[in-house]
Amino acid sequence: MPRVVFRRRITSHGPLRNPSAQRALYLLLEGYECAWDLRASAWSFATELSDLLAEGCSQVLLRWLMRKGYMKARLFEQSRSRGRDLSAIGHNAFPSGTRFVATKTGAAVARRSLRLSSGKVTGRGRCSFYRPAWINSRGELRFRDQPVAYLCYEESYQRTLVDSFHQRGWPKRLQDPLPQADESTVNVKQRLRNTVKNLNRHLKGSGLRFYVTGAGRLIGWKGVD
C-alpha cells in the first residue's frame, strides 16, 4: 500500500490564534491607546514582561511578536532611564525588567484579530478581551474600538456609573457608586436600576450591557453578541 503522508497546514498567522498571543496583544493595545489618548510617549504605558508571562505568553511567542514587527522591547535598568533597545535579542530570553509597546502595525493587527474573534477567545473558558473605555472630557463611551454612547452632563448618574468603572480599571462588578442618600426618602435600589436602564438605552446594538445584581446593591457590565 502506498504510504499516506499527512501534511500539516501552516499559515503565517497561526500563532495569532493562540489565546496567549491574543491576551498579550490586548495588553499591548491597551497601552498603545492610552498613550495615544494622552499624546504621551508609548513607553510611558509600556507593558511589563511579568504581565505578559502571567497571561501564558512564552518567551518564544514574545520573540515571534517582536520579529513580526508587532511590538518593540526595551530593558529598563536603574542606570538607563530611557531603556536599552532589545530589537536584536535574537534567540535569547528577555531579561527581567523588559517592557514592551505595540507598534502601529501591531496595534492594527491587534484590533483586527480581536474584532474577528468578537473580543472573545475560548480556552479554559470564555475570556473577554475588550473592556469599555471612557473619555470623560468628551462624554464618550467606547467598546470594541467603537464609540457606543455620548453622555451629556445632564445624565450625571449615568456618567457617575461609567466614571466609577473607569477609575477602578473596569472590574466586572462594583458597589453602587451613586451618591449616598437617605433610604427613608430615596429608594436607592430603584434609583440604580433606573440609571442602568437609561444607560442601556444608549447602548442598543453596541454589544455592551450594564446590569444590576447583588440584591440591587451591585452593578456589572458584560459584552453580548
How is the chain split into domains, by residue range?
14-128, 133-223
Longest CA–CA span in the chain (Å) reads: 87
Of residues 216 and 195, more confidently modeled:
195
The secondary structure element, H or E, covering residue 198 is: helix 188-201
Across the beta sheet with 80-85, the strand order is 47-48, 98-102, 71-77, 80-85
Candidate from 53-57, 83-87, 202-206 with smallest mean pLDDT: 83-87
- Per the CB < 8 A criterion, the answer to whether 114 and 25 are in contact is yes
Lowest mean pLDDT among 25-34, 41-50, 124-133, 193-202: 124-133
* Residue 24 confidence (pLDDT) above 60: yes
SS3 168: coil
CA distance 129 to 23: 7
Lowest mean pLDDT among 35-49, 75-89, 127-141: 75-89
Residues 6+ apart with CB under 8 A from 165: 132, 134, 171, 174, 221
* pLDDT (average), residues 78-93: 66
Q: What is the pLDDT of residue 122?
A: 39
Closest Cα partner for 26 from 125, 127, 111, 100? 111
pLDDT of residue 104: 92
- Pseudo-torsion of CA 10, 16, 21, 25, nearest 10°? 160
C-alpha cell belonging to residue 61 = 511567542
Residue 119's pLDDT is 43
- The per-residue pLDDT of the chain, averaged, comes to 80
At 197 the pLDDT is 95
* Cβ-based neighbours of 45, under 8 Å, separated by 6 or more: 30, 31, 32, 34, 35, 101
165 vs 143: CA distance, rounded Å? 13
Higher pLDDT, 127 or 198: 198
Mean pLDDT of 166-185: 84
Length of the chain: 225
CA dihedral (25, 26, 31, 37) in degrees, to 10, reads: 120
Q: Check residue 118 and give its pLDDT.
A: 42
Measured from the Cβ of residue 52, the count of other Cβ atoms closer than 10 Å reads 26
Residue 215 in this model has a pLDDT that exceeds 60: yes
Give the pLDDT score at 120.
44
Residue 81 reports pLDDT greater than 80: no
Q: Say how far apart CA 30 and CA 37 lie, in whole Å.
A: 11
* Tens-digit pLDDT profile for residues 113-163: 766 544 444 333 333 456 788 888 889 999 877 889 999 877 789 999 999
Q: How far apart are CA 156 and CA 147, in angstroms?
A: 19
